[in-house]
Structure 1
Amino acid sequence: MTHACRLASALIVTLLLPLTLSAEETRPVIVCSTTQVADFARQVVGDRMEVKSVLAAGQDPHLYEKKPGDAQLVSGADLCLENGWHLEGNDWMRKLATQTGRPIVTCVEGCQPLQVPGVDEGMHDPHAWFSCTNAAIYVRNIRDAVVKLDPDHADEYRSRAALYLDQLRTLHSWIVREVNNIPVEQRVLVTSHDAFNYFCHAYGMKSATPVGWSTGKEIGAGISPQRRQETIDSIREHHVKAIFVETSVNPTMVREIAREAGVKIGGELYSDSMGAPDTAGETYIGMMRENVLTIVQSLK
Structure 2
Amino acid sequence: MLIRLTALAILAVTLMPSLGWAADDLARRPVIVCSTTQIADFARQVVGDRMEVHSVLAAGQDPHLYEKKPGDAQLVSTADLCLENGWHLEGNDWMRKLAEQTGRPLVTCVDGCNPLEVPGVDQAMDDPHAWFSCTNAATYVRNIRNAVIELDPEHANEYRSRAALYLDQLRALNNWIVREISKIPVEERVLVTSHDAFNYFCQAYGLKPATPVGWSTGNEVGAGISPQRRHDTIESIREHGVKAIFVETSVNPTMVRQIAREAGVRIGGELYSDSMGAPGTAGETYLGMMRENVITIVEALK
TM-score, length basis structure 2: 0.91
Alignment of 1:235-250 (within 5 A): 235-250=237-252
How much does 1:118 deviate? 4.8
Letter in 2 for 1:196: F
Alignment of 1:123-202 (within 5 A): 123-202=125-204
1:89 to 91, 106, 129: 91
How many equivalent pairs are there?
Answer: 289
Q: Which runs of 5+ in 2 are unaligned?
A: none
User: How far apart, CA to CA, are the structure 2 residues paired with 1:192 and 1:70?
Assistant: 28
CA-to-aligned-CA distance 1:151-207 (integer Å, 9 cap, x gap): 000000000000000000000000000000000000000000000000000000000
Letter in 1 for 2:119: P
User: How far apart, CA to CA, are the structure 1 residues paired with 2:122 and 2:264?
Assistant: 33
Percent identity over paired residues? 82
Letter in 2 for 1:233: E
Letter in 2 for 1:54: V
Instruction: Look up the match of 1:50.
Output: 52
User: How far apart, CA to CA, are the structure 2 residues paired with 1:271 and 1:183?
Assistant: 24
User: How far apart, CA to CA, are the structure 2 residues paired with 1:114 and 1:66?
Assistant: 28
How much does 1:124 deviate? 0.3
Alignment of 1:1-300 (within 5 A): 22-23=24-25, 25-118=27-120, 120-217=122-219, 223-300=225-302
Does the C-alpha gap of structure 1 residues 145 and 248 become closer, same or farther in structure 2, counting only changes over 3 Å? same
Contact 1:119 1:212 in 2 (8 A): no
Does the C-alpha gap of structure 1 residues 184 and 17 become closer, same or farther in structure 2, counting only changes over 3 Å? farther
Letter in 2 for 1:64: Y
Contact 1:115 1:121 in 2 (8 A): no
How much does 1:226 deviate? 1.1
Contact 2:217 2:224 in 1 (8 A): no
Does the C-alpha gap of structure 1 residues 287 and 119 become closer, same or farther in structure 2, counting only changes over 3 Å? farther
Letter in 1 for 2:59: A
Does the C-alpha gap of structure 1 residues 119 and 199 become closer, same or farther in structure 2, counting only changes over 3 Å? farther
Letter in 2 for 1:117: P
How much does 1:213 deviate? 1.1
Q: Deviation above 6 Å: which 4+ runs of structure 1?
A: none
Does the C-alpha gap of structure 1 residues 17 and 255 become closer, same or farther in structure 2, counting only changes over 3 Å? farther
User: How far apart, CA to CA, are the structure 1 residues paired with 2:122 and 2:278?
Assistant: 33
Contact 1:34 1:83 in 2 (8 A): yes
Contact 1:41 1:51 in 2 (8 A): yes
User: How far apart, CA to CA, are the structure 2 residues paired with 1:208 and 1:122?
Assistant: 18
SS at match of 1:276: coil
Q: Which runs of 5+ in 1 are unaligned?
A: none
Contact 2:46 2:159 in 1 (8 A): yes
TM-score, length basis structure 1: 0.92
CA-to-aligned-CA distance 1:255-276 (integer Å, 9 cap, x gap): 0000000000000000000000
How much does 1:21 deviate? 5.7
| Structure with larger Rg | 2
Backbone CA RMSD of aligned residues: 2.1
How much does 1:19 deviate? 6.5
How much does 1:217 deviate? 1.9
